[in-house]
Amino acid sequence: MRLAKRLGLFAAAATLTASTAVLAAPTFINILTGGTSGVYYPIGVALSQLYGEHIDGAKPSVQATKASVENLNLLQAGRGELALALGDSVADAWAGDSEAGFKAPLKKLRAIAGTYPNYIQIVASGESGIKTLADLKGKRISVGAPKSGTELNARAIFKAAGLSYEDMGKVEFLPYAESVELIKNRQLDATLQSAGLGMAAIRDLASVMPIEFVAVPADVVAKIGNAAYQPASIPAGTYEGQDADVATVAITNILVSHSGVSDELAYQMTKLMFDNLPRLVTAHSAAKDINLAAAAQSLPIPLHPGAEKFYQEQGLLP
């Protein structure tokens, strides 16, 4: 009897220990961003801090990546829980567009929120003589990492403007900060960067040399033929020495998760972001354009059920 009682106690203790271990298991939240000189990264850092402070057992981390295309492929593979990506890239991922960098449809992707727009920012050195898209012919330009969201934007815009990479004197496929360094060293004439306004790399370039912003006219935007691309402008004074508004194109960024993330975690990640938008604005001013009323509208992939629950509570979805 004593032996049986002891065995029973040991079994109960083992069960309690196992249950406690399950309850105490950390919740890993790997946030996929972009290059450290872009906008995705500081916003990802701000989200990771929020989640670490307010989600019990959360173990958040921030991973710098090549941004949209890489982020979406990593989410599909379960190697992240949250990522920022351009809306056109998200649509291409859902469709499995191989030309855009997706070998098959990424059907595990789920939307958390539409966020702020990326603005196409084409910047040339003042001494390059570049003032229009046509002036890029024969010049040296960087267009972002190969098949990144930025590079896909570059291809679409150049095609609509009647240009191709073959028209350029040299095309480099480099991240934002490296592109800017090469312009400073007079090894490149221009760079196309797709990011929120006030990005660090362009601020850095504008602070050390005269630069020219190249407009993307509305008629070129219309020729792209993709609803994700909308006419927009870079307001005067966004960067040092920029005296006038610059016509360009904007593409909404989407905060994306995947179906393997629990409904409760997706709900908390969504709610915490919208409950703390001022903190994201402190991380980067681009977050000022995140709008709760529009966050669940016109998304190219299904909402995560956890995010959907949040929007229903806000009266934004039936």
Strands (E), the chain: 27-32, 58-63, 82-86, 109-125, 140-142, 170-172, 190-195, 211-214, 230-234, 246-258
For the domain spanning 118-251, the CATH number is 3.40.190.10
**Tens-digit pLDDT profile for residues 150-165:** 999 999 999 999 999 9
Which position has the token pair 């012919």?
137
The residue with tokens 């003032």 is 131
26-116+253-313 has CATH 3.40.190.10 classification: yes
Q: Report how far apart the first and last C-alpha atoms of the chain are (Å, whole number).
A: 61
DSSP for 218-282, please give it: HHHHHHH--TT-EEEEE-TTSSTT--S-EEEEEEEEEEEEETTS-HHHHHHHHHHHHHTHHHHHH
Query: How does residue 17 score in pLDDT terms, banded at 50, 70 and 90?
Result: very low
Query: What is the average pLDDT across 12-16?
Result: 45
Cβ density class 283-298: b for 16+ within 10 Å, e for less: bbbbbebbeeeebbee
Cβ pair 150, 248 in contact under 8 A:
no
Residue spans in the chain of domains classed CATH 3.40.190.10 = 26-116+253-313, 118-251
Question: Could you read off the pLDDT of 288-317 as tens digits, one per residue?
Answer: 999 999 999 989 999 999 999 999 999 999
Computed over every residue of the chain, the mean pLDDT equals: 92
Exposure string over 251-261, b if 16+ CB within 10 A, otherwise e: bbbbbbbbeeb
